[in-house]
Structure 1
């Protein structure tokens, strides 16, 4: 028998999928492009990050060997659209160095490493936080790791699954402890949450249009309750 919490989480995913359709994430041509994109999208929209990735590609620099040997001062002008470009240039170079040195610039070699040790190694790279690393693990390495962002915390605290101020780890456990460790599910679920957060569950929410507002009649957003 499926636990009630699992049923609710799956019902939310089904409602989001029905409303938005499959999101087909991550939008990249290669695993390495996904990795670099995950770093560049920190604290900025994907549109801006995609422009920066495109600049690297146009310049012939979207290559782990070239980036690992490049001066950050040569990377930074190419990634200006991603904001904080000086810091991100250093992070991209350091990540590329680890990717080349530890994993032979081969996504299959990287993905073959056990999830726990791989996550710890990537978290040891200066400037890479949990969301960035988990994005790489899920979308580039195909690891069943649920990615958490600000939208996740906002939506699931509003619906009473989590406290308003909650840690990354506790938020992640909500999904990893109650959903099957399915890469495809985790992939699209995170993308659906982002779409909901951008479209309806904003800082000033549009509760009357929320696709999950009436699931089973048992879920009720605290925002809607105030209306």
Structure 2
């Protein structure tokens, strides 16, 4: 019998404790980090953010030339493409005077659609911004989620929104839980449920079909 989605959350939380995600000082830093982390490891994003630290304001980044911005975010990889994605995001954010309070009246569905219409912003990035920067009830799905829960024995749908709906149906509708669960999934995937899993040391191994 498979464990419950909520039960796995509590198991992971007991194992790893609070993760304090997203690691950022401001909502804007979080949003830039969500773009920079595309197709790279967080350690590389940290290097890029460190080089950007004196410019982590939308107006300050707007004043940078493409060459300056590319140079600063180079450690994150795909720096030319990500520069253009940051530019596209800033063009959208500028319509609201770079003020998250001006977005408060928008429904989550409406805000999500606007984010998805920004070039280079896909479902995972949009939902990360919604959850971590705007505190919306949106569960973030990533490759780690699919890997861990398929191994446990959940036959997850291939479609992003279907997996998201599955998790949201089986969890209390709390931003704090959505936030923490996503971070715990990432931590577990990095430590144990790797591409080549370390099953014998895994703290949730008794729940996993991989070992049955």
Structure-2 change in CA distance of 1:111 and 1:197 (3 Å): farther
Structure-2 change in CA distance of 1:20 and 1:141 (3 Å): same
TM-score, reference length from structure 1: 0.88
For residue 28 of structure 2, give the secondary structure of its aligned residue in structure 1.
helix
TM-score, reference length from structure 2: 0.94
Residues 189-198 or 89-98, more deviating: 89-98
Aligned 1:137-216 pairs, distance under 5 A: 137-163=130-156, 166-214=158-206
> Which of residues 98, 107, 111 is equivalent to 1:114?
107
Residues 66-75 or 7-16, more deviating: 66-75
What corresponds to 2:119 in structure 1? 126
What corresponds to 1:62 in structure 2? 56
CA deviation map 1:89-132 (0-9, x unaligned) = 1111111121121x221122224321001000011011111111
What corresponds to 1:78 in structure 2? 72
2: CA distance between counterparts of 1:67 and 1:122? 19
For residue 188 of structure 1, give the secondary structure of its aligned residue in structure 2.
helix
Q: Could you list the runs of 5+ residues in structure 2 that have no partner in the other structure? A: none
Q: Could you list the runs of 5+ residues in structure 1 that have no partner in the other structure? A: none
Runs of at least 4 residues off by over 6 Å? none
CA contact (8 A) 1:37 1:53 kept: yes
Pick 1 or 2: higher relative contact order, CA cutoff 8 A, min separation 6. 2
Matched, 1:93 2:87: yes
